[in-house]
A and B are shown apart, each in its own frame.
Chain A
Amino acid sequence: MMNEFCKGGGCTAKLGPGILDKVLKMIPKKADPKLLVGFDHSDDAAVYQLTDELAVVQTLDFFPPMVEDPYLFGKIAATNALSDIYAMGGEVKTALNIVCFPESMDANILGQILLGGNEKVTEAGGVLAGGHSINDVDVKYGLSVMGTIHPKRILENNHCKEGDLLLLTKPLGVGIVMTASRMKAVSEEAFDQAVESMTTLNKYAAEIFKKYGIHACTDITGFGLLVHLGEMLGENFSAEVWTSQIPYIRACEDYVEEFYITAAGQRNRNHIGAQVAFENCSFAMEEILFDPQTSGGLLVAIPENEVKKALKEIEALGLDCGIIGRVTEKKEKKIYVLK
């Protein structure tokens, strides 16, 4: 009954950015000077200052399975949930499990999920401290993670500067590969590439970036590269994206031609497509740029004089990565996708 376990999840199951914006605008916001980063930032995690030297970073992420192996699903979900702490520049301290699981399903499956999750929390240097489980029709799993950070060293997602280069630390296309997998049309190579990417903690990339003068950082998840980049640019900048430099899982080109694409990718297109100018961009590459990522890489805006050295260190981590574009002055469109 594997199909009952995996109905196509991961970050493709996220609510669209459009709906979320509308709803969040209706919630009254309490002003608290100690809340350094809250949800009005569309940032990756919340940051609350405790003392002059110490702030806590909090985040929560969970979703339905996107792979049939429960242990692997646990690892991916945890890697994804932990990522938001790294995207802010923080260090992982504690994590709580969030579980929805049908009582009628084999409890060993849940055991495997939690085992995979715990492994990644431990690798992150954190400790699993508890959790909450609900009997539900479908499986969902994730974590609420707490980390710490120095209040002066927060990496916000929208502080880029004109002339910064954009560095992406993981290949795109994970959502497309998982959709092809659900359609039983995936190659073993592409599946393995996607899994390796989804289970690699952003911890290692984040540690490297601490040595450089990063201006902005975010992790690429369900909203895909272009929506996350759009958030990073805010209202004051535009950017060029160079398709020849985009790291992506090569099999995606074929999978897009077979239309193994998601509803979430289309929602991302609806959200930001009007602010993107595509020049000489193949249909497959467009879809890859909108593709929702589960446990995607970090996207940073970094000064030009530091980027080569940083890229060399990121490359040594072993995943496909690249300098994918540049922040420019504000132009008519927000993002220009060029060859």
Chain B
Amino acid sequence: MNIQIDAKGKQCPLPVIEAKNAISGMTEAGIVEVTVDNEIAVQNLTKMADHKGLKAKSEKKSNQEYTVWMEVTEEFVKNNIKDGNVSSTPVTEENCIPDIRKKKTVVVLGADHMGEGDEKLGKMLMKGFVYALTQLEELPQTILLFNSGAYLSCEGSDSVEDLKSMEAQGVEVMTCGTCLNHYGLTEKLAVGSVTNMYVIAQTMMEADHIVKP
């Protein structure tokens, strides 16, 4: 199992955090390869590998491109699983559970209701829409929630369970941090992660389909 990470253009500690997450998600021995654009990031990656007892080597490809290879051993993976850092039966590409996420379909929930008209009806429809998503054969890759859509992923929403179920199947659920803040929901987020406008814009730009109820 080998993992490649392109962390060029990312400031420390991001390259290190991404590598660390990849390493702790490994379910079998292999190499994590990280490409970065500065020497300090190479040193921080090597420091992290040393601290975790992993062998690392690096190579300077040009002034703005360095590659670091970290060797994740069988023993490390075993201990990692034992420590409960990673599940021993994860869904990986090699597993036989088919990945039912539709390639790069992004569902955008920009309000807590669906359609214009009676607001009470709109909220019911939205609840139904999120539930219906869970029942589809192909799940979206990402669900973005912003403006009053942020209420849907927070405590007290009837959609939390449905969103959690999709998240458990690999759907990325991301809620706009500014919106959570605006509605005083920051402490109440119940599913998925907090995101920002850069990620929202990038996710939408890279999507093959955007679904907006």
Contacts and interface: CB of A to CB of B under 8 A. Distances in A.
Q: Which of B12, B177, B178 has the most CB of A within 10 A?
A: B12
A8 interface: yes
A2 B13 contact: no
A193 to B, nearest CB: 20
Interface string A1-43: 1111001100000000000000000000000000000000000
B138 to A, nearest CB: 30
Nearest to B187: A188
A105 interface: no
A263 interface: yes
Interface in B157-213: 177-178, 181, 194, 196-198
Contact of A263 (B44, B177, B197, B198): B44
A266 B44 contact: yes
Interface in B43-62: 43-44, 47-48, 51
Contact of A2 (B38, B41, B177): B177
B196 A259 contact: no
Interface in B12-29: 12-13, 16-17, 20
B13 A260 contact: yes
Contacts, number: 50
Given A8-B11, A263-B44, A283-B51, A2 B178 contact: yes
Contacts of B198: 3-4
B178 A259 contact: no
B151 to A, nearest CB: 20
A258 B20 CA distance: 8
Interface in A265-324: 266-267, 269-270, 283
A107 interface: no
Contacts of A283: 51
A266 B194 contact: no
A259 B43 contact: no
A262 interface: yes
Contact of B13 (A1, A184, A259): A259
Contact of B12 (A258, A263, A270): A263
Contacts of B44: 259, 261, 263, 266
Contacts of A260: 13, 17
Contact of B41 (A3, A179, A263, A270): A263
12 contacts: A1-B196, A2-B177, A4-B197, A7-B11, A8-B11, A179-B13, A259-B16, A260-B13, A260-B17, A263-B41, A266-B40, A269-B43
